Amino acid sequence: MPELPEVEVSRLGISPHLQGQVLLKVVARQRQLRWWVPDQVVSQVNQPVMGVSRRAKYLLIALPQGEIILHLGMSGHLKMLPAAQAPLKHDHIDFVLGNGQCLRLNDTRRFGAVLWQARGDSHPLLANLGPEPLTDDFTVDTLLQACAKRSAAIKLVLMDNKVVVGVGNIYANEALFKAGINPLSPANNISKEKLRLLCTVVKETLAAAIVQGGTTLKDFSQADGKPGYFAQQLLVYGRAGQPCASCQQPLQEVRLGQRSTVFCRYCQPER
């Protein structure tokens, strides 16, 4: 599933093409995605696009009456192309622009979403999200407060969107390795200094992934079709059994929260 860097790269890719354009119409060839595409989306006609923003892993296309919410799900991706170009099998939604281009959502597995948020409202999916990791709202103090009364594994806490948004499986693995924290360690056992380091490396890892265009493992590509290159810099994720980059011992893999968790038991001793 695309994580925060991949969604931010998509935002950076499509924003210049949408900003200031007129959304002529929305063409929905398939409205049954993860949720039914609501009438408020498909009824948007001749509306100026005021901007494209991101909240967690959701893209928000701002229009005068509200915002179209896009989520890429597990296999969704966005493409900018001529509106007249024939759609492929899994090209489900077109946002047709006044300049003859369109933003097209392709989603093979249909786990993505296209939803609506009226101006002044907060959609239930966005209402209770935690701070953005790349802002000053995410600090060691907010992380310490979240961990203080939780004995769950630190990796699960780090991936909780009420604690901090957008730190998915790939980047949680990477950040915990760089901080020298065992992903299985109880959150309330980790010192403030270790959490301070974790907060720092989360920000650094996500920022570096955005610069590299995200991580292409299977389905993700940028809006221009190019892959993300951060996969070449992954230190632990997807490398179970391979030598640790620091100590050369084989990396371990366990399942945690039904997700692959890869770590080095020498560089990340459990506490």
98 and 147 fall within a common domain:
no
Least confident of 193-202, 208-217, 242-251: 208-217
CATH of the domain at 166: 1.10.8.50
Residues facing residue 61 across a β-bridge: 52, 68
Residue numbers annotated as active site? 2-3, 57, 259
42 and 95 fall within a common domain:
yes
In a domain, 253, yes or no: yes
103 and 159 fall within a common domain:
no
What does the CA dihedral 74, 79, 84, 87 come to, rounded to 10 degrees?
A: -20
Nearest Cα residue to 143 out of 103, 68, 203, 83: 203
Distance CA 152, CA 256 (A): 11
Average pLDDT over residues 127-152: 96
Top-confidence residue, 225 or 132: 132
Confidence of residue 213 (pLDDT cuts 50, 70, 90): low
In a domain, 17, yes or no: yes
In a domain, 210, yes or no: yes
119 and 151 fall within a common domain:
no
Task: Report the SS3 class of residue 244.
Answer: coil
Residue 187 has pLDDT above 90, yes or no: yes
Average pLDDT over residues 76-97: 95
Residue 14 has pLDDT above 70, yes or no: yes
Nearest Cα residue to 126 out of 55, 64, 40: 55
Q: Are 61 and 78 in contact (CB under 8 A)?
A: no
Least confident of 19-33, 134-148, 172-186, 217-231: 217-231
Domain count, the chain: 2
Top-confidence residue, 114 or 224: 114
Distance CA 175, CA 177 (A): 5
112 and 155 fall within a common domain:
no
In a domain, 270, yes or no: no
What does the CA dihedral 187, 193, 194, 200 come to, rounded to 10 degrees?
A: 110
Q: Are 266 and 180 in contact (CB under 8 A)?
A: no
117 and 165 fall within a common domain:
no
98 and 171 fall within a common domain:
no
Nearest Cα residue to 118 out of 65, 51, 168: 65
Average pLDDT over residues 174-182: 97
What percent of the chain lies above the pLDDT cut of 70?
Answer: 92
Confidence of residue 1 (pLDDT cuts 50, 70, 90): low
Residue 163's pLDDT is what?
97
49 and 149 fall within a common domain:
no
Residue 270's pLDDT is what?
80
CATH of the domain at 86: 3.20.190.10
In a domain, 90, yes or no: yes
Domain boundary among 127, 150, 184: 127
Confidence of residue 220 (pLDDT cuts 50, 70, 90): very low
Domain boundary among 98, 127, 156: 127
149 and 199 fall within a common domain:
yes
Domain boundary among 77, 103, 127: 127
Residue 232's pLDDT is what?
56
Residue-averaged pLDDT of the chain? 91
The DSSP element (H or E) to which 246 belongs, if any, is none
Residue 196's pLDDT is what?
98
In a domain, 193, yes or no: yes
146 and 118 fall within a common domain:
no
Give the distance, in angstroms, between the CA of residue 85 and the centroid of all CA atoms in the same chain.
28
Residue 221 has pLDDT above 90, yes or no: no
Confidence of residue 99 (pLDDT cuts 50, 70, 90): very high
118 and 15 fall within a common domain:
yes
E runs forming strands in 13-64: 22-28, 47-48, 51-55, 58-63
Residue 212 has pLDDT above 80, yes or no: no
Confidence of residue 6 (pLDDT cuts 50, 70, 90): confident
Report the range out of 1-10, 34-43, 202-211, 220-229 with the highest average pLDDT.
34-43
Q: Are 5 and 167 in contact (CB under 8 A)?
A: no
What percent of the chain lies above the pLDDT cut of 90?
Answer: 81
123 and 163 fall within a common domain:
no
In a domain, 223, yes or no: yes
Nearest Cα residue to 6 out of 64, 57, 46: 57
Quote the domain boundaries for residue 24.
Answer: 4-127
The residues, any chain, with a CB within 8 Å of residue 39's CB and separated by 6 or more, are none
In a domain, 160, yes or no: yes
